[in-house]
């Protein structure tokens, strides 16, 4: 085996954190690491390995990216949780959105000048985004609401982020009205989008979850998901200029928890537990087609009775699915204030205390907690179906990338 081949085999088996250092050691190594061949080879070798990720509060919050973090995973080799990568030069900052390793932050200078920044946390690259005129001209309350409605979507190819779009939801009475900033153009532009069932737009919960260039909102009126693809990638032969309305795959009878959704292995996933015939059954569906025909939209892929937890007297509720392994669901115990990782295929589970140090989970990563129990207890009223009120997307996932992509830079703007 010649030297370049040896270097390829050795480097491809190192964590990304080490590979990033080797890029600056030798010119030949940098050329090898930056090649498409090496990237594809590294990703193929580590396709089944877990990477660092976090369970995130799905609201604007102080500069703390997670309530539960995962580090020490093979691919990245981080010694701290992903939230530790979010370092910023302004203390009072809000994390507004995080998608595919990119983080969107709002901050104010000492002169009260509002600013938006987008960053690649692995390389600590930050780029300032101009505040759209729409947000500058509204009063302070509407400005705060506008921040909550910011979304972030990306376009990815071969594990590399090619571009991103920052989305402001301006109005949704008769149609969607967006203001969009694109890294391809470097400017904010207006976009109007129609929806077949307009009444559903008035009752969406304004926080969204991004996946594959699509933003997904929760509509409490029609018990559905409202979605729009900002990169036109539905690929189903239907008009891509319309938003999509996807009804949930159940009638609502016997549901123990209010409706929420998350992501797992490249799909939008809906889960809930159902009471019936003195049994409790956890069902998990994944969204396979963006259509209002329920039978075509959803695929039921887990139907499990968590009898082992019930017999232990554990009072639990579902939080998120593992973003990279659709066999694992994360549950929180109210009566014990602990996190449960439950494998839906093997029925094995592990229980983790918030006070534990270096607690390893099922995917081999190390867990860390940040005010998790406080957030869970505060928001339980928005989870249980016993209490009246709207549904909310309380949790999402921040997943670091499998490759060292740089932050896409917009073209320079004329002075």
The model's pLDDT over 348-370, given as tens digits with 9 standing for 90+, comes to 999 998 887 778 888 788 998 88
Is the predicted pLDDT of residue 73 greater than 90, yes or no? no
SS3 content of the chain, % helix, strand, coil (to 5): 20, 40, 40
In this prediction, residues 222-250 reach a mean pLDDT of 76
Range of lowest pLDDT (172-176, 190-194, 310-314): 172-176
Range of lowest pLDDT (125-134, 184-193, 330-339, 357-366): 357-366
The model's pLDDT over 240-274, given as tens digits with 9 standing for 90+, comes to 678 888 889 875 577 888 888 999 999 999 999 88
Q: Which residue has the higher pLDDT, 122 or 332?
A: 332
In this prediction, residues 63-68 reach a mean pLDDT of 73
Proportion of the chain above pLDDT 70, given as a percent: 84
Is the predicted pLDDT of residue 236 greater than 70, yes or no? no
The pLDDT, as a whole number, for residue 173 is: 62
Is the predicted pLDDT of residue 152 greater than 90, yes or no? yes
The pLDDT, as a whole number, for residue 344 is: 94
| Predicted confidence band of residue 30 (pLDDT cuts 50, 70, 90) | confident
Give the phi and the psi of residue 134 in degrees, each rounded to 5: -55, -45
The model's pLDDT over 316-326, given as tens digits with 9 standing for 90+, comes to 889 999 999 99
At residue 231, the 3 state secondary structure works out as coil
Cβ atoms of 301 and 286 within 8 Å: the answer is yes
In this prediction, residues 27-41 reach a mean pLDDT of 85
Proportion of the chain above pLDDT 90, given as a percent: 26
Range of lowest pLDDT (26-40, 152-166, 318-332): 26-40
The pLDDT, as a whole number, for residue 410 is: 87
Cβ atoms of 201 and 172 within 8 Å: the answer is yes
Q: Which residue has the higher pLDDT, 346 or 393?
A: 346
Is the predicted pLDDT of residue 389 greater than 70, yes or no? no
CA quadruple 401, 402, 406, 409: dihedral sign: negative
Q: What is the mean pLDDT of the chain?
A: 82
Residue 405 in tokens = 């992509």
Distance spanning both ends of the chain, measured CA to CA: 55
Range of lowest pLDDT (61-75, 115-129, 252-266, 360-374): 61-75
Is the predicted pLDDT of residue 3 greater than 60, yes or no? no
In this prediction, residues 20-37 reach a mean pLDDT of 83
The pLDDT, as a whole number, for residue 1 is: 43
Range of lowest pLDDT (75-84, 180-189, 331-340): 75-84
The pLDDT, as a whole number, for residue 206 is: 63
DSSP 356-410: -SSEE-TTSPEEEESSHHHHHHHHGGGTBTTS-S-----EEEEE--SS-PPPP-P
């Amino acid at each position: 085996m010649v030297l370049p081949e040896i270097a390829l085999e050795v480097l491809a088996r190192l964590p990304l954190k080490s590979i990033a250092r080797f890029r600056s050691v030798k010119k030949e190594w940098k050329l090898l690491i930056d090649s498409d061949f090496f990237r594809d080879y590294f990703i193929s070798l580590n396709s089944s390995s877990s990477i660092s990720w976090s369970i995130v509060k799905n609201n604007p919050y102080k500069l703390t990216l997670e309530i539960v973090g995962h580090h020490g995973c093979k691919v990245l080799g981080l010694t701290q949780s992903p939230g530790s990568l979010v370092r910023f030069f302004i203390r009072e900052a809000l994390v507004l959105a995080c998608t595919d390793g990119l983080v969107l932050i709002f901050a104010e200078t000492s002169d009260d000048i509002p600013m938006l920044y987008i960053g690649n946390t692995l390389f600590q690259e930050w780029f300032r985004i101009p505040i759209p005129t729409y947000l500058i001209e509204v009063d302070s309350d509407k400005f705060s609401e506008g921040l909550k409605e910011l979304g972030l979507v990306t376009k990815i190819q071969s594990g590399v982020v090619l571009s991103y779009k920052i989305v402001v939801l301006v109005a949704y009475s008769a149609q969607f009205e967006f203001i969009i900033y694109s890294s391809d153009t470097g400017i904010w532009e207006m976009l109007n989008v129609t929806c077949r069932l307009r009444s559903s737009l008035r009752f969406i919960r304004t926080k969204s979850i991004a996946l594959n260039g699509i933003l997904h909102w929760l509509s409490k009126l029609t018990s559905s998901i409202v979605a729009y693809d900002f990169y036109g990638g539905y690929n189903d032969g239907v008009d891509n200029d319309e938003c999509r309305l996807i009804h949930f795959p159940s009638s609502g009878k016997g549901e123990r928890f209010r409706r929420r959704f998350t992501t797992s292995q490249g799909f939008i996933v809906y889960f809930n537990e159902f009471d019936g015939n003195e049994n409790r059954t956890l069902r998990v569906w994944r969204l396979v087609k963006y259509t209002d025909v329920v039978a075509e939209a959803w695929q039921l892929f887990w139907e499990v009775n968590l009898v082992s937890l019930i017999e232990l007297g554990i009072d639990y509720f579902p939080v998120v699915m593992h973003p990279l392994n659709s066999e694992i669901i994360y549950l929180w115990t109210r009566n014990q204030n602990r996190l449960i990782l439950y494998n839906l295929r093997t029925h094995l589970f592990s229980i983790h205390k918030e006070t534990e140090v270096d607690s390893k989970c099922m995917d081999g990563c190390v867990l860390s907690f940040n005010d998790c129990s406080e957030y869970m207890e505060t928001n339980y009223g928005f989870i249980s179906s016993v209490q009246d009120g709207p549904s909310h997307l309380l949790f999402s996932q921040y997943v670091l990338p499998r490759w060292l992509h740089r932050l896409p830079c917009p073209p320079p703007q004329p002075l």
